[in-house]
Structure 1
């Protein structure tokens, strides 16, 4: 019924007219019924990524992971994917403009991205209204797949990751008291705070103080001085890697040596690159661990390092698996059609990728188990 109403909205909304013309002939360019001359399903997949600006390391990793997967997938011959990449610069308006451009292309069958939950909150409803399947690879805030029937994600939501990390930290350090620090001007970091607060309360932790900051802030002396005086056992911090790394560096210089439990935005090698030894003691939960004894993981890490000269992070790994999930759905759909791709994505169960065994639930959200990591000696390690 919901899909029928959506179709009706497409015919009555002026903003959807260009998209409707696309849906009438929704094949990849050049070949009848979205098939290549060799019989493979041929599709353009749009990508909205944070390529320029202060969070560009996220977008770089994501696009690198996608390109590596694209080369492998196309080499196998069952699916031929062309990536159409647009830069959002981490901005809602730019992400929406990029999405509209992609959706108005008759060749784009589905979209991967955008990078931030803040961006998905404006792009997701538009994609859902226009019947374009979209999959976030790094959008972990609460409520993303619930935006609509065409909205998916393969990124581990913070509602699963943060409680798992807190549980391990409580067990390891017998923690009883915590301080919370979060960015209050970003949907993603605010959502992380909500999850942290809820998890802390459910686990019976005493919240000594809740401190806030803004994106781009450079001085955290006031917040950290207050936290230091209260002597928490743990600091729960919901931050993107730029602010998170600076917070940890300033905290360590002030003599705060307690462990930090971070949200997903904190989970990047850039934290180590920026903060150095000050990053030691950061605990995060993730579906990705590059040192895992698994042949698929080892092969991916080796190929990625050879191609890009660095180790892949969580964002590269999630993007890599996302394109493979798209490819499997396209194969199962048998054509480059938006509705068929959406339905095939919804049926993905037991997909074995480099992140582990993955399925979508009935809302298009993630079903999988997280791994808890800690930074020790300048590297992420399993937290036991």
Structure 2
């Protein structure tokens, strides 16, 4: 009897100690109710494209705070910097999957990185959600790969079509970065869109990431007098290209790929950014209550308006949170299945569903820059 009583007391002590160890945000423990999960993030935080990563991680942290405050799901974010390179993105993924044992990954930022990271996540059965990867074929990498960013193959035709309707375009020139999966995918969509619309492509010019002088390419374009320039680039190169184009007297509009959807384009190019045409699911001027609440919260937190990359990341974490509720636990396979069932999710981007490949189903809007600000192209 004494042995039984002694054992019972020890059991009670153990239970009290264990109860006292729960609920730590730092360790990712149970917050006291709902599902608790550790979510990895691979983001472009340092390097020439750091503005993308800053917007993404800022929005994720804002969404995390809001989701955790609601109490149904408790999320711990484990953020790793890829510096925009596939090798560093791969190292970050391996750390998150193996050492950190995350339930899912958001990111990486670039399609070039996702082509390396996606297969590893898929092979390990870790759901991965790209919030900025727009190259063709990303969701097809595997059953565990998703994205909530509109692919170039949907966005670019919409913007080119709108420009043709508004401007009576007959001839176009194309410029693209030929050393990046994302910018090459943008080129493929631009070429296809031009051909589908019966436009004459007078020249195709290429460049590399980090290039600073584009005068040779732009001079050849100027001599051929196109009605429109289609350019697939990240914001750094894209903004400089537009500035140098205006400096040598090219005054025709640009249609940009997804990389141009950043306020950094305006900051770098200044007045040369006016007239840029892009397609995006995100517009801060949308009068929806959900959109304006997000814009206000983001501005209060970070002192500036959220861009497209912030909006996609913000919705991305909320989509993961909803899937965790459906899964009922922080289980990779169950979360993957719940993500695949995402349908008519109402986010700041609009109504989001995933198709059978895990690709986003959503309609873009076409914007233009006028007087230093993005607005609807009407």
Asked if these proteins are the same fold (TM beyond 0.5), I'd say yes
Secondary structure of 2:99's aligned partner: coil
Secondary structure of 1:252's aligned partner: helix
Q: Deviations over 1:262-319 (max 9, x none)?
A: 0001111100000000000110000100011110111111111111011110000000
Secondary structure of 2:203's aligned partner: strand
Q: Taking structure 1 as reference, are residues 29 and 107 closer, same or farther at Cα in structure 2, changes over 3 Å only?
A: farther
Given that 1:48 and 1:98 are in contact with CA atoms closer than 8 Å, whether structure 2 keeps it comes out as yes
Q: Deviations over 1:32-82 (max 9, x none)?
A: xx9725321000000000000000000000000100000000000000000
Q: Given the alignment of the two structures, is residue 270 of structure 1 paired with residue 260 of structure 2, yes or no?
A: no
Q: Taking structure 1 as reference, are residues 243 and 190 closer, same or farther at Cα in structure 2, changes over 3 Å only?
A: same
Q: Deviations over 1:151-195 (max 9, x none)?
A: 000001111000000010000001010000000011110110011
Secondary structure of 2:176's aligned partner: strand
- In the alignment, what sits opposite 1:174? 168
Q: Given the alignment of the two structures, is residue 122 of structure 1 paired with residue 121 of structure 2, yes or no?
A: no
User: How do 1:125-144 residues align onto structure 2 when only pairs under 5 Å count?
Assistant: 125-144=119-138
Q: Given the alignment of the two structures, is residue 237 of structure 1 paired with residue 204 of structure 2, yes or no?
A: no
User: How do 1:70-85 residues align onto structure 2 when only pairs under 5 Å count?
Assistant: 70-85=64-79
Provide the TM-score with structure 2 as the length reference. 0.92
Structure 2 counterpart of 1:355, from 338, 349, 354: 349
Q: Distance in 2 between matches of 1:30 and 1:317?
A: 28
Structure 1 counterpart of 2:88, from 94, 103, 106: 94
Q: Given the alignment of the two structures, is residue 329 of structure 1 paired with residue 335 of structure 2, yes or no?
A: no
Q: Distance in 2 between matches of 1:111 and 1:277?
A: 38
Given that 2:44 and 2:52 are in contact with CA atoms closer than 8 Å, whether structure 1 keeps it comes out as yes
Q: Distance in 2 between matches of 1:331 and 1:382?
A: 36
- In the alignment, what sits opposite 1:147? 141
Q: Given the alignment of the two structures, is residue 309 of structure 1 paired with residue 337 of structure 2, yes or no?
A: no
Q: Given the alignment of the two structures, is residue 208 of structure 1 paired with residue 202 of structure 2, yes or no?
A: yes
- In the alignment, what sits opposite 2:314? 320
Question: Once the 2 structures are TM-superposed, how far is the Cα of residue 30 of structure 1 from its aligned partner?
Answer: 7.5
Q: Given the alignment of the two structures, is residue 219 of structure 1 paired with residue 213 of structure 2, yes or no?
A: yes
Q: Distance in 1 between matches of 2:99 and 2:339?
A: 21
Secondary structure of 1:72's aligned partner: helix
Given that 1:35 and 1:335 are in contact with CA atoms closer than 8 Å, whether structure 2 keeps it comes out as no
- In the alignment, what sits opposite 1:187? 181
Provide the TM-score with structure 1 as the length reference. 0.91
Structure number with bigger Rg: 2
Structure 2 counterpart of 1:250, from 239, 244, 254: 244
Q: Distance in 1 between matches of 2:319 and 2:31?
A: 23
- In the alignment, what sits opposite 1:9? none
Unaligned 5+ runs, structure 2: 1-21
- In the alignment, what sits opposite 1:110? 104
Given that 1:249 and 1:279 are in contact with CA atoms closer than 8 Å, whether structure 2 keeps it comes out as yes
- In the alignment, what sits opposite 2:55? 61
Secondary structure of 1:108's aligned partner: coil
Q: Distance in 2 between matches of 1:326 and 1:176?
A: 44
State the 4+ residue runs in structure 1 displaced beyond 4 angstroms: 28-31
Given that 2:31 and 2:74 are in contact with CA atoms closer than 8 Å, whether structure 1 keeps it comes out as no
Question: Once the 2 structures are TM-superposed, how far is the Cα of residue 29 of structure 1 from its aligned partner?
Answer: 9.3
Q: Taking structure 1 as reference, are residues 116 and 348 closer, same or farther at Cα in structure 2, changes over 3 Å only?
A: same
Unaligned 5+ runs, structure 1: 1-27
- In the alignment, what sits opposite 2:255? 261
Q: Distance in 2 between matches of 1:374 and 1:166?
A: 12
Q: Distance in 2 between matches of 1:336 and 1:73?
A: 15
